[in-house]
Amino acid sequence: MGTLWIGVDIGKTHHHVAAVDGDGRLVYSRRVANDEASLLAVMAEVSTHGRPVCWAVDVTTGLSALLLTLLWRRQVSDRLLAELTVLTGYRADLVGQRVATLFRLQELLTGISPALERAVDLNRKGPMMVLACWQTPAAIRHVGVDRITALLRRGHVKNAVQVAEAMVAAARQQTVTLPGQRAAAVVVGQMATEILALEQRIAAVDDLIAEQLDQHPLAPIVGSLPGMGPLLTAELLVHTAGMTEYDSPAKLAAHAGLAPISRDSGTVSGNHRQPRRYHRRLRHILWMAAFTAVRECPTSRAYYEKKRAEGKHHRQAMLALARRRVDVLWALVRDRKTLSLSA
């Protein structure tokens, strides 16, 4: 008896379930509520056909979470991955909001005082604390170095005196008031406050991610690879479904765009090109981990230098290192061992 193929059109309150046999004949079609009792009833009903069943859904986000959970009866590691998926996605949203707000703040601050915008690194907490309180050159000159230093020290900012002196010195370079400065100052102050709040929320999410990673059995293994910090480890586990989606390191490398694509024809062989279709976020994760490892791990650095000596440019050498690290990562996960740097 052939397999029963069941497709589910996912909806918010209801799903539509349809099943066809091996010949493509429709044998089941029904609208079902998105609640546990109704879904279990449908699963029991289709099982009475006595055939092997294969399920497919068109959405894998929260709308289908209940159905997928009932189908898989997830284990602890699966539940952890679901939570990490939510947390890493939320963190990415927060980081995106912070980046967009910071770009707009820099633009507005340049319209108030170009010297002030250039004087300090606005990615740092200290300058953002100052801008949340004082935004114009006149206001910063008025409060002076001592008051700004006191504010920064209360916020436990490193090099508080240097930051305060740099901002006051920049404020003294401009005495004129630019058009629209008053309104821009109000907006800059609100944006600076918003950025500080976003940074606190990002830090809180990082703590939650670390807490979930502590419970995942693969986290110590993946995290032992140089360059794989908590966030990259969490994202790698999320985007590889806990390293369960691939039966070889070559397939993982191909999915991440780290393996060349053959362009052989009937008359030409050995012709390869860079892939165009691959999981870009997964490639970014492996690239960033390799980039960090080059700076911190002598073994990774030596491999990178070896590839450069072979005539490869920086990007090629980094991709080669990332591909080599996929093999190492795969072996660690397969053997359930952590990497020993002293070995």
Please name the fold of domain 80-212.
Helix Hairpins (1.10.287)
Is the domain defined by 4-73 classed in CATH 3.30.420.40? yes
**Tokens at 59, concatenated:** 């959405």
For 16, the enclosing helix (H) or strand (E) is strand 14-20
- pLDDT, averaged across the chain: 89
Averaging pLDDT over each range in 2-11, 190-199, 241-250, 263-272, which range is the top one?
190-199
> What is the DSSP code string of 124-176?
SHHHHHHHHH--SHHHHHHHHHHHHHHHHHHTT-TTHHHHHHHHHHHHTT--S
Residue 97 CA to residue 188 CA, distance in Å, equals 15
How many angstroms separate the Cα of 128 from the Cα of each of 4, 123, 191, 215?
60, 8, 9, 35
pLDDT digits (tens, 9 = 90+) for 79-100: 788 889 889 999 999 999 999 9
Where exactly does CATH 1.10.287 map onto the chain? 80-212
Tokens of 262: 């053959």
pTM: 0.76
The DSSP line for 315-327 is HHHHHHHHHHHHH
**Over residues 268-289, mean pLDDT:** 83
Distance CA 251, CA 246 (A): 6
> β-strands 53-57, 261-262: how paired?
unpaired
| pLDDT band at residue 42 using 50, 70 and 90 as cut-offs | confident
Task: Give the 3-state secondary structure of residue 211.
Answer: helix
Confidence class of residue 343 from pLDDT cuts 50, 70 and 90?
very low
CA angle centred on 156, ends 152 and 158, rounded to 5°? 80
Residue 85 confidence (pLDDT): 87
Domain with CATH 3.30.420.40 in the chain: 4-73
pLDDT average, residue stretch 155-167? 93
Give per-residue burial for 70-79: e unless 16+ CB within 10 Å, then b. eeeeeeebbe
As a whole number, mean pLDDT of residues 269-288 equals 83
Q: Report residue 44's pLDDT band, with 50, 70 and 90 as the boundaries.
A: confident
Q: Are strands 4-9 and 53-57 parallel, antiparallel or unpaired?
A: parallel
Interior/surface letters 135-167, b for 16+ CB within 10 angstroms, e for the rest? bbbeebbebebebbbebbeeeebeebeebbebb
Nearest Cα neighbor of 119 from 152, 163, 184 is 163
Mean pLDDT of 330-342: 87
Q: What is the pLDDT of residues 28-37, one digit of tens each?
A: 898 999 998 8
The Cα–Cα gap between 327 and 108 comes to 48
Q: What tokens does 256 get?
A: 């991440």
The 3-state DSSP class for residue 88 equals helix
Confidence of residue 1 (pLDDT cuts 50, 70, 90): low
Helices and strands (DSSP H and E) totals, the chain:
14, 6
Give the H or E element holding residue 205. Answer: helix 181-213
Average pLDDT value for residue range 237-266: 83
pLDDT per residue as tens digits for the range 209-236: 999 999 998 999 999 999 999 999 999 9
Greatest distance between any 2 Cα atoms in the chain: 86
Q: Can you read off the two tokens belonging to residue 67?
A: 């159905």
pLDDT at residue 73 above 70?
no
